[in-house]
Amino acid sequence: MKEIKTIKFFFIFILFFLFSQLIISENKIKPLDVKKIADGVYVHYGKHENIYEGSNIGDIGNLGFIIGDESIAVIDTGGSHQVGEALKLAIKKISKKPIKYVINTHVHQDHIFGNTAFLSEGVIIYGHFNLKKALKERGSQYIRQISEAGNKIKGTKIIFPHKIIAETSPDQVKKLSDKITINLGNRKLLLTSYPTAHTYSDASVFDLKTKTFFVGDLVQDERLPTMDGLVKNWIKVLNEIEKVDFKIMVPGHGKIQKDNTALKKTKTYLQVLYNDVIDALKKDIPAEKIIEIAAESEKDKWVLFDRVNPGNVVRTLIRYEWEY
């Protein structure tokens, strides 16, 4: 009888052990898949999914890092603490050099919520001079999203930038330039802040050594751009970016580019969106109908069009309806 009880106890113990190991395995963070796109330059491609839906933990945007002789800079950190940790693990598999900088290209969650994972590295976080203001304005909305996502993004917090991408007067009152340079050790990165475009906190990173150009969501491929700024200004900014002599462009979503194909595709969508809204306003078409028809000719060119385009139309309508 004792032998039977011992066998039962042993069997239950084994089941408990296996179950606990399964839970640990499921919760264990694994390094993100990254691709080397140039000497010392790596990219992780985000998924074309809606943030936090299903099993998604905020891994929807492109993330990158650049390795210099002395240190490493991270460009965007993902949509949760967990994604940031997975990116950090990927970096440490490739290089033992210190991670010194994090550069956020704009205010959206999928690019900034992984910042918490890098605080333990003592990083300096750079962002557009409007980024802190933008984060404060969206604070309650973002905190609610974090709460609703639950344990799968546990530990995710809003982290403000430590330094702005701008040169200022000694008293930090007057902005002298929208550009600054940081040095990773024989490797300089040019950081640029832009006027309101995709958002009012857009920035880019240009690696002078390889001419790799991280442009955030100012340029997108495959996934439909989200309008969270001013469409006409965005087109103007793209016209300026188009003049940059780069070898590789990393958009905020989609594959890397060797030319301006994705930029032109993004600009075409924005122009069609603007033209369709303005034409409809001139014809006194009801807003409900405008939401249905604006930019419809672009539908087959983009992923998540039906999810994203209506919001883009609404924001464009709100901005320009009183001008016509």
Per-residue pLDDT of 159-201, as tens digits, reads 999 999 998 766 655 666 899 999 999 999 999 999 999 999 9
* Helix/strand/coil (H/E/C) assignment for every residue in the chain: CHHHHHHHHHHHHHHHHHHHHHHHHHHCCCCCCCEEEECCEEEECCCCCCCCCCCCCCCCCCEEEEECCCCEEEECCCCCHHHHHHHHHHHHHHCCCCEEEEECCCCCHHHHHHHHHHHHHCCEEEECCCHHHHHHHCHHHHHHHHHHHHHHHCCCCCCCCCEECCEECCCCCCEEECEEEEECCCCEEEEEECCCCCCCCCEEEEECCCCEEEEEEEEECCECCCCCCCHHHHHHHHHHHCCCCCCEEEEEECCCECCCHHHHHHHHHHHHHHHHHHHHHHCCCCHHHHHHHCCHHHHHHCECHHHHHHHHHHHHHHHHHHHC
Q: Where are the domains of the chain?
A: 29-258
Query: pLDDT at position 208, please?
Result: 98
Q: Does residue 4 carry a pLDDT above 70?
A: no
Query: pLDDT at position 320, please?
Result: 87
Distance of CA 240 to the CA centre of its chain: 21
What's the CATH number for 29-258? 3.60.15.10
Query: pLDDT at position 138, please?
Result: 93
Query: pLDDT at position 77, please?
Result: 98
Which of these, 222, 214, 185, lies nearest to 64 by C-alpha position?
214
Neighbours of 321 (CB within 10 A): 13
Query: pLDDT at position 49, please?
Result: 94
Q: Does residue 318 carry a pLDDT above 90?
A: yes
Query: pLDDT at position 11, please?
Result: 47
pLDDT band for 321, please (50, 70, 90 cuts). confident
pLDDT band for 322, please (50, 70, 90 cuts). confident
Per-residue pLDDT of 66-125, as tens digits, reads 999 999 999 999 999 999 999 999 999 999 999 999 999 999 999 999 999 999 999 999
Region 140-153: mean pLDDT is: 92
Flag whether the pTM goes above 0.95. no
More confident residue, 242 or 27: 242
What amino acid is encoded at 172 in this protein? Q
Q: Does residue 256 carry a pLDDT above 90?
A: yes
More confident residue, 139 or 215: 215
